[in-house]
Chains A and B, each alone.
Chain A
Amino acid sequence: GDSVTQMEGPVTLSEEAFLTINCTYTATGYPSLFWYVQYPGEGLQLLLKATKADDKGSNKGFEATYRKETTSFHLEKGSVQVSDSAVYFCALNTGNQFYFGTGTSLTVIP
């Protein structure tokens, strides 16, 4: 069945370090892919999305490219800040159903 797998956390980085959070998916058809961010005590917010192969979503310095050949949508940021500390969720929308990954907790230390 359709699913999303993302790397387990927690991830701890120093400020200005490079971030990669891996996400792979299994789906029939042509799903849309998303990254959501949940800051402490808040709901999930859409961070970025890509709706077709080779699309790159970007927002707030974060990027992810929809790779159909590797069924991946890895989240990257070149230089993280303390304010990026949050839980990040990869997600997949087939049009019939939405699938979330298990979330990856990121802590950025000064």
Chain B
Amino acid sequence: DTAVSQTPKYLVTQMGNDKSIKCEQNLGHDTMYWYKQDSKKFLKIMFSYNNKELIINETVPNRFSPKSPDKAHLNLHINSLELGDSAVYFCASSRGDSDYGYTFGSGTRLTVV
């Protein structure tokens, strides 16, 4: 199936740990994104990345870092996890033109205890 897939779907971990969330898209899209969705369903862009440029939302702590081994993958690494990092994280991809929407993964629910 063509899609944006992210793993794991659920992640429970202790404060201070380092964790990664993986994302892969087989849609041939040029740009990938990470969003954070809080408990009130508000979506916040964290990163956007294509082959040429990484754009970081300046409000994102530097404990968060995207890693892109190739055009089809954009992984999210989080160091020194904090309680406030608990949220649902969505990966998305797009073709990059305005007529086209984003395609989202199904989300990773991160719980920091």
Residues on A facing B (Cβ under 8 Å) = 31-32, 34, 36, 38, 42-46, 49, 51, 87, 89, 91, 93-95, 98, 100, 102-103, 105
Q: Are the C-beta atoms of A89 and B43 separated by less than 8 Å?
A: yes
Contacts of A43 in B (CB 8 A): 4, 90, 104-107
Docked Cα-Cα span, A46 to B103, in Å, equals 8
Interface size on B, residues (CB 8 A): 20
Q: Are the C-beta atoms of A95 and B98 separated by less than 8 Å?
A: yes
Contacts of A42 in B (CB 8 A): 106-107
Contacts of A91 in B (CB 8 A): 101
Docked Cα-Cα span, A45 to B4, in Å, equals 11
B contact patch SS: loop
Contacts of B40 in A (CB 8 A): 102
Most A-side CB within 10 Å, residue of B98, B100, B102:
B98
Contacts of B102 in A (CB 8 A): 44, 46, 98
Residue interface bits B29-57, CB-to-A below 8 A is 1, else 0 = 00000000000111101000000000000
B1 close to A (CB within 8 Å): no
Q: A43-B107, A89-B43, A103-B43 are in contact. Are A95 and B101 (CB under 8 A)?
A: no
Selected A-B contacts with CB under 8 Å, 23 pairs: A31-B98, A32-B101, A36-B101, A36-B104, A43-B4, A43-B90, A43-B104, A43-B107, A44-B90, A44-B104, A46-B101, A46-B102, A49-B99, A49-B101, A51-B99, A87-B41, A91-B101, A93-B98, A93-B99, A95-B98, A98-B102, A103-B41, A103-B42
Contacts of A103 in B (CB 8 A): 41-43
Contacts of B42 in A (CB 8 A): 102-103
Contacts of B45 in A (CB 8 A): 98
Shortest CB distance A81–B (Å): 21
